[in-house]
Amino acid sequence: MLIYSKKKRISRKIYHLQQCPFCSRIQKDHTGYFYTEEEALAQGYRPCKRCHPYQSPVALYEKDKKHVDGLCHSFGFQCQVQGNDLLITNPLEAWLLTFSSRLRKILIYHESCRRFCTLVQREELIRGFHRQPWEFHSIAETLFLIHRHLQNYITGSGIPAYKKDAAQRLLKEPLQKNDRFRKKNRKNHQKKLAKKARMHQETKHVLYLIQQLKCMEP
């Protein structure tokens, strides 16, 4: 069940999940309901960025900005917010993460020649880019896939010499690092993420207990 406001003056054609905090601001007389997201989209409504964070690559980037920026720094990439899209660039190429309202998921686009990089989107076609057949799961995973794609420039056949040279220069510093050192850093980072996740869950549980106690008070 999806909720939206029927009041024309304040309605911006946004629908929410039932647990969204913005639903409490909608008066009962002005509350409307959609049973499916397809119905909401057909009426011209768009999802709330607060309760639908996974539909915006920018929201995902802001949520995990420190981790993503750290990976970009280690790989020699740059992340730039372009409206509702996320542009990932390196000296050799550019990549674009964008949300498809038709397919209801984030798509990955690849552009190999930055001179023709124009962010003009019409449905699923973006001029200067071609869609990459990768399934999006997270920005961090996409960065590792891009890094592996650069490595294929060096080992692949039929790659122009200038691309191989540029890929070798870009990958030279990361490849010189000690594998054991990188593995240790990765393991420590995973431990920190797991600790943060546990603390977050414990905090949510405490807040839930406090709320239940308040409800039990006469």
Q: What is the pLDDT of residues 100-148, one digit of tens each?
A: 867 767 889 988 554 444 444 444 567 678 888 888 878 988 999 998 8
Residue-level pLDDT at 111: 80
150 domain-assigned: yes
Q: Are residues 99 and 47 in the same domain?
A: no
Q: Are residues 21 and 77 in the same domain?
A: no
Beta strands in 90-195 (DSSP E): 94-100, 105-111, 121-122, 125-126, 130-131
Per the structure, the count of domains in the chain is: 2
Q: Are residues 118 and 151 in the same domain?
A: yes
163 domain-assigned: yes
Q: Are residues 75 and 136 in the same domain?
A: yes
Q: Are residues 19 and 97 in the same domain?
A: no
Question: Residue 125 phi/psi, 5° resolution?
Answer: -100, 130
207 domain-assigned: no
Q: Higher model confidence: residue 173 or residue 131?
A: 131
Tell me the CA distances in angstroms from 124 to 84, 101, 102, 121, 142, one per residue in order: 15, 9, 8, 7, 19
Q: Are residues 84 and 170 in the same domain?
A: yes
Percentage of residues of the chain with pLDDT beyond 70: 69
Tell me which amino acid residue 79 is. C
* Domain that includes residue 18, residue range: 2-51
183 domain-assigned: no
Residue 201's pLDDT band (cuts 50, 70, 90)? low
Q: Are residues 139 and 92 in the same domain?
A: yes
Q: Are residues 29 and 136 in the same domain?
A: no
In whole angstroms, what separates CA 16 from the centre of its chain? Answer: 19
44 domain-assigned: yes
Q: Are residues 65 and 33 in the same domain?
A: no
Tell me which residue has tokens 């509350």.
Answer: 31
Q: Are residues 45 and 143 in the same domain?
A: no
Its pTM stands at 0.53
182 domain-assigned: no
19 domain-assigned: yes
Q: Are residues 44 and 73 in the same domain?
A: no
Q: Are residues 68 and 16 in the same domain?
A: no
44-97 pLDDT, tens digit per residue, is 787 776 776 566 788 888 878 888 999 888 888 889 888 888 999 887 888 989
d(CA 27, CA 164): 61
